[in-house]
């Protein structure tokens, strides 16, 4: 195990041992921590595991995950080229929306997860994930528009982390809505250009 994988493994064990969100934990089969390449420049963040994810212990393996895989393929990437995780890491019962308190409890761990991976681009999937980084902003207005933010002043992070957030519609929401689906595909196709421009010039903050 390399250093990042070891750090991530320790973080995962800490979530379990500290009994984060015990009510969710009790009802879930397992913790769904993350999947893919921790050395990637790109991290995708969804909302919470669904039924298939809870059974397999891997994020985005159901219908929304298949769609995500297709869009990755469209821009020449595989799942193993990126890192994929969720804000809330246990399945909420009956796939209900994660509660504000659940997002709040998991947020320090998500920040630390990002602090270990140090991606350049964080693609937030859906409003829950987007609003954890860009509170108050409406995804319907800001989808597809990258924004540079500084994750700082957090005692959970040992150093400030400059990242670009790119909000996208959630693949599960877009899957059965033709117009939203096309918008998501169009936004997704911008990712390679966003990555290329991140190092070159400042992105509107
Ligand atoms: N939806 C999410 O937000 N995350 C998953 O892992 C699966 C579906």
Burial class (CB in 10 A: 0-12, 13-18, 19+), 170: buried
Gap between the Cα atoms of 133 and 122, Å rounded: 10
Going from the Cα of 123 to the center of ligand 1, the distance in angstroms, rounded, reads 13
> E strands of 89-157, at which residues?
121-125, 147-151
Q: What angle do CA 109, 12, 54 make, to 5 degrees?
A: 100
Mutate to test the pocket of ligand 1, among 28, 34, 43, 50 (most ligand atoms within 8 A of CB): 50
Token representation of residue 60: 């985005």
Each of the 205 residues of the chain gets a pLDDT tens digit; together they read 799 999 999 999 999 999 999 999 999 999 999 999 999 999 999 999 999 999 999 999 999 999 999 999 999 999 999 999 999 999 999 999 999 999 999 999 999 999 999 999 999 999 999 999 999 899 999 999 999 999 865 555 557 788 999 999 999 999 999 999 999 999 999 999 999 999 786 666 5
- CB-CB contact of 113 with 8 (8 Å): yes
Q: What CATH superfamily is the domain 3-194? A: Uracil-DNA glycosylase-like domain (3.40.470.10)
pLDDT given at position 151: 83
Mutate to test the pocket of ligand 1, among 62, 168, 171 (most ligand atoms within 8 A of CB): 62
pLDDT given at position 41: 96
């Amino acid at each position: 195990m390399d250093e990042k994988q070891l750090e991530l493994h320790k973080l995962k064990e800490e979530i379990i041992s500290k009994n984060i969100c015990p009510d969710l934990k009790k009802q879930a089969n397992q913790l769904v921590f993350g999947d893919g390449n921790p050395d990637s420049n790109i991290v995708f963040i969804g909302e919470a595991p669904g039924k298939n994810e809870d059974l397999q212990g891997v994020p985005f393996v159901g219908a929304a995950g298949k769609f995500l895989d297709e869009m990755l393929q469209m821009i020449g990437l595989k799942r193993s080229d990126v890192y994929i995780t969720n804000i809330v890491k246990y399945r909420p019962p009956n796939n209900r929306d994660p509660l504000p308190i659940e997002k709040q409890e998991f947020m320090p761990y998500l920040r630390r997860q990002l602090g270990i991976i140090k991606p350049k681009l964080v693609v937030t999937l859906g409003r829950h994930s987007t609003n954890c980084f860009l509170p108050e902003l409406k995804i319907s207005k800001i989808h597809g528009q990258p924004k540079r933010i500084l994750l700082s002043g957090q005692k959970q992070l040992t150093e400030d982390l400059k990242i670009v957030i790119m909000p996208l519609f959630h693949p599960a929401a877009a899957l059965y809505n033709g117009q939203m689906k096309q918008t998501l595909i169009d936004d997704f196709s911008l990712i390679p250009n966003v990555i290329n421009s991140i190092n070159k010039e400042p992105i509107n903050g």
